[in-house]
């Protein structure tokens, strides 16, 4: 039986999972692949901390170059994360004609163009199923299963940490700060949670999915992004009352010849499958012009689920190697020469539903003034909630409204005007509502 030699760089959580899975299910993988995958070397700067997997003596080394320069190793798995030295390792592996597997979304979102170009020049493959959605086969589904479709839209819950926080806030009525602290104590959130809670991690992932779905190169900075730090318990309660749950959604929609891409807290109807995605889980709702809705759900992170995705790339590449081929599927879905640059639709041009919470003094005529301004800006109101509530320290009570589909530009102009009214005491809270586009 043929052996396929693999080198692993990065022996942290996911790396440990990969080593463990190859041990645990090696025999089964052999029966499926028809060859043996041999994890020849593992490089990590920490060679002493015990891991929950035992590898043979001599396999764990400090120097990644011993993997990158080993002529017997044909596949390198990069699992150290971050930009450097990950980027240099990946490029060197490819220059040495090794196929690469990575879970590094930050690297691909930022240096993707360079990495994919070098992979093409060298005729090697690059697998990155584990970079988006953990165990969920979202990359393969878009690239292979939906290959006959124009992708109309992708809606995703792509970050487990924020979804965990929002779920806890919704189910247990706790504040953002309290839940964040709990999540940090449990290891579900980093000590510095910025990447997660500000939607940066989600933006990395959306950048990758945009290029697969539309065959376009996207600049990370062009994606509109809003995190979850401003979500309050009050808005979660109003959302429930209106039949919605608040999720941090990544959204990509094809609008005629333009694409809109945005990340922000979003109210989605209670009955929608995405609203049932709680805790650490991730999910993707993809609509193709032929397939209609396809919904995928699973663990977006974690040792073994992510290792499962890495192994799927590894077996894919091994199958090609056994047939002595490479570059069977274009890494970015479209043949490289056909990939185009695009400008995303400016945020001002998008249209969606909106939820507003005004902080206004409780005085006759206020509602008519506010709704009058909305009307002047072509914003039509769907629902209003105004209840006798105690005024807050600024002498204001909450007035909640949802709108029918409106233009972001109009909403921005209307809110600027409304927030200048002397009867309005605080900046109006604005959360987008997705209803129709999810159908």
- Which spans of this chain sit near a second copy (rule: CB under 8 A)? 17, 21, 24-25, 28-29, 31-34, 129, 135-137, 140-141, 144-150, 215, 271, 273, 276, 288-299, 302, 304-305, 307-309, 311-312, 314-316, 319-320, 323, 325, 328-330, 333-335, 338
Closest separation in Å from C-beta 308 to a second copy: 4
- Pairwise CA distance, residues 352 & 284, whole Å: 19
Cβ within 8 Å of residue 151, ≥6 positions away: 142, 213, 214, 252, 254, 286, 287, 288
Location of structure tokens 């507003």: 356
| Residue 205 a catalytic site member | yes
Which H helix or E strand runs over 416? helix 408-420
Closest separation in Å from C-beta 322 to a second copy: 8
Q: Which CB, 296 or 367, lies closer to a second copy?
A: 296
**Can you read off the two tokens belonging to residue 111?**
């240096």
Q: Which CB, 227 or 305, lies closer to a second copy?
A: 305
**Can you read off the two tokens belonging to residue 222?**
């062009």
Closest separation in Å from C-beta 315 to a second copy: 5
CB 261 within 8 A of CB 224: yes
Q: Which CB, 17 or 199, lies closer to a second copy?
A: 17
Closest separation in Å from C-beta 209 to a second copy: 15
Catalytic residue among 92, 105, 205, 247: 205
Which H helix or E strand runs over 341? strand 340-341
First to last CA, the chain: 50
Q: Which CB, 225 or 332, lies closer to a second copy?
A: 332
**Can you read off the two tokens belonging to residue 270?**
């209670």
Q: Which CB, 237 or 289, lies closer to a second copy?
A: 289
CB 352 within 8 A of CB 44: no
Q: Which CB, 329 or 381, lies closer to a second copy?
A: 329
Phi, psi at residue 296, to the nearest 5°? -125, 140
Residues constituting the chain = 439
CB 164 within 8 A of CB 280: yes
What would the 3-class secondary structure string for 366-384 be? HHHHHHHHHHHCCCCEEEE
Closest separation in Å from C-beta 241 to a second copy: 20
- Pairwise CA distance, residues 352 & 253, whole Å: 11
Can you say whether the dihedral through the CA atoms of 284, 288, 291, 292 is positive or negative? Answer: positive
Location of structure tokens 């005024």: 391
Closest separation in Å from C-beta 190 to a second copy: 22
Q: What residues act catalytically?
A: 205
């Amino acid at each position: 039986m043929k052996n396929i030699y693999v080198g692993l760089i990065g022996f942290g959580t996911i790396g440990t999972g990969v080593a463990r899975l190859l041990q645990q299910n090696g025999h089964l993988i052999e029966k499926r692949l028809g060859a043996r995958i041999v994890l020849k070397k593992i490089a990590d700067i920490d060679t002493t901390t015990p891991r929950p997997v035992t590898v043979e003596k001599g396999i764990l080394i400090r120097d990644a170059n011993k993997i990158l320069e080993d002529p017997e190793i044909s596949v390198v798995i990069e699992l150290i994360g971050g930009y450097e030295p990950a980027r240099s390792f990946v490029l060197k592996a490819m220059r040495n004609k090794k196929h690469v597997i990575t879970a590094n979304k930050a690297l691909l979102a930022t240096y993707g163009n360079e990495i994919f170009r070098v992979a093409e020049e060298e005729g090697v493959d690059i697998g990155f199923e584990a970079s988006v959605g953990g165990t969920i086969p979202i990359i393969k589904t878009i690239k292979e299963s939906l290959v006959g479709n124009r992708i109309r839209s992708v809606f995703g819950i792509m970050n487990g940490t924020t979804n965990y926080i929002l779920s806890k806030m919704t189910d247990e009525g706790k504040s953002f700060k309290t839940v964040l602290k709990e999540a940090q104590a449990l290891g579900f959130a980093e000590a510095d949670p910025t990447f997660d809670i500000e939607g940066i991690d989600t933006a990395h992932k959306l950048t990758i999915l945009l290029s697969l779905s539309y065959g376009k190169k996207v600049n990370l900075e062009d994606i509109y992004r809003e995190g979850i730090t401003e979500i309050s318990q009050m808005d979660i309660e109003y959302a429930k009352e209106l039949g919605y749950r608040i999720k941090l959604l990544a959204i990509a929609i094809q609008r005629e010849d333009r694409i809109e891409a945005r990340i922000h807290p979003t109210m989605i109807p209670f009955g929608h499958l995405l609203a049932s995605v709680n805790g650490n889980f991730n999910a993707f709702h993809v609509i193709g012009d032929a397939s209609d809705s396809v919904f995928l759900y699973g663990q977006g992170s974690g040792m073994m689920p992510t290792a499962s995705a890495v192994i799927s790339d590894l077996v894919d590449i091994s199958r090609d190697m056994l047939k002595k081929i490479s570059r069977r599927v274009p890494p970015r879905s479209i043949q490289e020469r056909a990939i185009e640059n695009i400008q995303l639709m400016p945020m001002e041009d998008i249209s969606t539903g909106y939820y507003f919470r005004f902080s206004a003094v409780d005085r006759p005529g206020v509602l008519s003034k506010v709704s009058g301004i909305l009307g002047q800006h072509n914003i039509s109101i769907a629902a209003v909630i105004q209840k006798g509530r105690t005024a807050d320290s600024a002498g204001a009570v909450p007035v909640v409204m949802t709108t029918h589909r409106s233009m972001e530009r109009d909403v921005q102009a209307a809110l600027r005007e409304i927030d200048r009214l002397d009867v309005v005491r605080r900046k109006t809270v604005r959360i987008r509502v997705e209803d129709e586009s999810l159908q």
